[in-house]
Structure 1
C-alpha cells in the first residue's frame, strides 16, 4: 500500500516526493451525574470535550472539536483536502500548490507560515497563533529536533513517514474532526475503483504496463520506473500489471536509469507517464518525450502511451483525481483491443 513518504526518491525524494496537552475542563457541580454529563458521557476521568488518539508519539489527549489547528509537514494538504482550515502551515512547494483546487490553495495561503516542511519551525510564531491542536508528519529526525517543543504549545499528533495513506487520512480526519468529508471521499473512491475494475477488466487482465517518470530532482539524462505513489494505487487497488521491486528491496523508483535504457520499455504493452492538469507531459518528463528512442517505442507509436495526472497520493481528494485520469486513459485503450 502507498506510504505518504514514497512520493519521493531516497533522501532527496523525501524532500521533494521524502507535552502539555490542552485540557478543556468542565465547570459545574461535583456530583457523579454532573461528571458523567460533562465528560464523554461514560463517567470516566476524561476531560470534557476531549478524545484520545493513538499516534507515533503515543496516546494523545486532544480537543474533540479543535478550532485552531496548525499543520506541519505532510499534514498540510491532506487536512485541507478534508475541508480543514488550518491557522498555521509549513511551506509547500510551488509544484504541490499548482495542482491544488483553487479553493484549497486559497485556504492554504490564508494560513500563517510557521516554518519549512522539515524541522525548521518558528516555535514562537507558532505559539503566538494559540493553536489547540498541532498535526505533524515529517522525518523522525525532525520530530526529535522539535517534537518536545511542539508538545509544550498544544496537544500534538505525530505520524511517521511510513504511515499508509488510507490510515493517514483516517487518523487526520479523526483528529481534525472532519469525518463527514472523509466518509464522502471514501465512498467516491470505492465507487471509482469498482467502476474501473468492472469496465476495463479485460484490459487490466490482458495488458502489461510500466509506469515511468522523471522529477525535477532527477539527474540530467535519466528517468525512473515508478513503483510507488499513484503507481501503487493502480497496481494494488486496480490490479494493473505493473513492475515493482522485490520484497525487501528499495523501490525501483529509487534507481535512476539513463535515457539509453528507454528502448527496454518496448517489452511492455502499454506505458503510463506523468502529465499536468492540462494533460501535457510534466516539465521534467518532457525531456524523455523528446528523445527519438521514446518516439519509436511501439507503445508510443500505437497510442498506448498514457499520460496520467497524479496530484498527490496521501489523501482521497487527489487520489480520486488520479483515478479519473486513469479511467480516461484506459478508455482510450478500449478501442485498441
Structure 2
C-alpha cells in the first residue's frame, strides 16, 4: 500500500506514485538497445514478470515508479529515476540522490532517455497495465524486474535489495525495525492491550470540510506490526481511507480512546489537517479533551527507512499519553 490513500483502484495508486506510464518515444530494437557493460556474473530474481537473470553487482540501475525511493533508501545510487511525489518528506541525502539522477519522466516514461543511460538493470513498480505498455521495450534495453502495486512493502524491500545488490543496508534497517517494534510493544503493552485507536487524516485531493479514517499506509504498520487496535475495512472491501467523510462526522470518533493525526517532522499539524483542529466538533471529542489525541509523523511506508521514522514518532507520541481517567 501507499502511504496516502487515493480515490480508488490501481489507477489512482499509480497517480500517487507519480507514474502513469505512457510511452513517449519508440524503444530501440534488440540490436541497438544500449544495454551497458553488464556484469558477467548473474543470478535469478523472481518477480511479477517471471524469473529474471540480473547482474550480481549492477552498476547502472534505473528505477521506475515505486522502486525509486526504496532503492535509494537502501543506499542505491540510480542513474535514472522517476521523480518522487513528496520529495520534502525525504531526508536531505535522499533528496540529493534523486536530484543527481536523470529524470526519465513521471506521467510518461522516455524510453530513448532510458536507453541512453545504458543501464544494466531496470527496477519497475506500477500498475500491471503500465508494464503491459512498455515492459518489452524496457527488457530490450536491460534486464527488467517488475512488481505490481499490490506487492507488500517488506517484500519489495527484500526483492529490491536482492536485485539491486544493497542487502547490507537492508539487514541493518530490518534490525532497527524489529527493535523498534519490540520496544514499543514492551513499553506500551497496557495501552496496546486496552485502548482503541483511530488514525484520521485529510488528503490534498479532498474537498474542503472532508476527512478520512486511515487504515492503510503507516496506520497499517501500527495495526499489523505493532498491534494497535485500529479499524480496518472488511475483507474484500475498499480501504476505509477511500471514503470521504464530512467534518460533521468527526463526532463518530468519540468512541475511540486515542486519536492520531498527521504532523510534519517537527510535530506541527500538516497544513491540510489544521482546519480539523479548529472545529468545535474536534475540540469536544473525549480523547481530545483528555489529551489523548496525538500527532504522528508518517513519511511513507514504502521502505524500512520510512517506517522506522514513523515508529520513532509513534514511540514518542505514546510516551505523552496520560492514563485514562
In the superposition, the TM-score normalised over structure 2's length comes to 0.90
The aligned residue for residue 124 of structure 1 is 112
Alignment of 1:88-99 (within 5 A): 88-93=80-85, 96-99=86-89
Alignment of 1:8-19 (within 5 A): 8-10=6-8, 11-16=11-16
Q: State the Cα distance separating 1:15 from its structure 2 match.
A: 1.7
Q: State the Cα distance separating 1:283 from its structure 2 match.
A: 1.4
Asked if residue 113 in structure 1 is aligned to residue 103 in structure 2, the reply is: yes
Asked if residue 327 in structure 1 is aligned to residue 315 in structure 2, the reply is: yes
Cα-to-partner distance string for 1:81-135 (whole Å, 9 max, x where unaligned): 0000000001222xx210111111111100000010x5x1111111111111010
The aligned residue for residue 295 of structure 1 is 283
Please tell me whether the aligned partners of residues 13 and 149 of structure 2 are also in contact (alpha carbons under 8 angstroms): no
Please tell me whether the aligned partners of residues 7 and 242 of structure 2 are also in contact (alpha carbons under 8 angstroms): yes
The aligned residue for residue 189 of structure 1 is 177
Give the gaps of 5 or more residues in structure 1. Answer: 26-46
Counterpart Cα distance in 2 of 1:4 and 1:71: 17
Q: What secondary structure sits across from 2:273 in the alignment? A: helix
Asked if residue 232 in structure 1 is aligned to residue 230 in structure 2, the reply is: no
Alignment of 1:39-188 (within 5 A): 48-93=40-85, 96-116=86-106, 118=107, 120-188=108-176
Q: State the Cα distance separating 1:162 from its structure 2 match.
A: 0.3
Please tell me whether the aligned partners of residues 226 and 252 of structure 1 are also in contact (alpha carbons under 8 angstroms): yes
Q: State the Cα distance separating 1:148 from its structure 2 match.
A: 1.1
Q: State the Cα distance separating 1:9 from its structure 2 match.
A: 3.8
Cα-to-partner distance string for 1:231-288 (whole Å, 9 max, x where unaligned): 1110111111111111111110011111110111111111011111111111111121
| Highest RCO, 1 vs 2 (Cα 8 Å, sep ≥ 6) | 2
* 1:248 counterpart (231, 236, 250): 236
Please tell me whether the aligned partners of residues 193 and 237 of structure 1 are also in contact (alpha carbons under 8 angstroms): yes
Cα-to-partner distance string for 1:28-54 (whole Å, 9 max, x where unaligned): xxxxxxxxxxxxxxxxxxx94111111
Counterpart Cα distance in 2 of 1:23 and 1:112: 16
Q: State the Cα distance separating 1:334 from its structure 2 match.
A: 5.2
The aligned residue for residue 252 of structure 2 is 264
Q: State the Cα distance separating 1:14 from its structure 2 match.
A: 4.3
Please tell me whether the aligned partners of residues 62 and 133 of structure 1 are also in contact (alpha carbons under 8 angstroms): yes
Give the gaps of 5 or more residues in structure 2. Answer: 19-28
Please tell me whether the aligned partners of residues 121 and 143 of structure 2 are also in contact (alpha carbons under 8 angstroms): yes
Larger deviation, residues 232-241 vs 285-294: 285-294
Counterpart Cα distance in 1 of 2:43 and 2:17: 32
In the superposition, the TM-score normalised over structure 1's length comes to 0.87
| Larger-gyration structure (1/2) | 1
Counterpart Cα distance in 1 of 2:71 and 2:36: 23
Q: What secondary structure sits across from 1:135 in the alignment? A: strand
Counterpart Cα distance in 2 of 1:189 and 1:5: 17
Q: State the Cα distance separating 1:16 from its structure 2 match.
A: 2.5
Q: What secondary structure sits across from 1:273 in the alignment? A: strand
Counterpart Cα distance in 2 of 1:213 and 1:14: 20
* 2:266 counterpart (278, 283, 290): 278
Cα-to-partner distance string for 1:189-234 (whole Å, 9 max, x where unaligned): 0000000001100011110111111110112211110011111110
Q: State the Cα distance separating 1:4 from its structure 2 match.
A: 4.4
Alignment of 1:209-220 (within 5 A): 209-220=197-208
Counterpart Cα distance in 2 of 1:14 and 1:221: 26
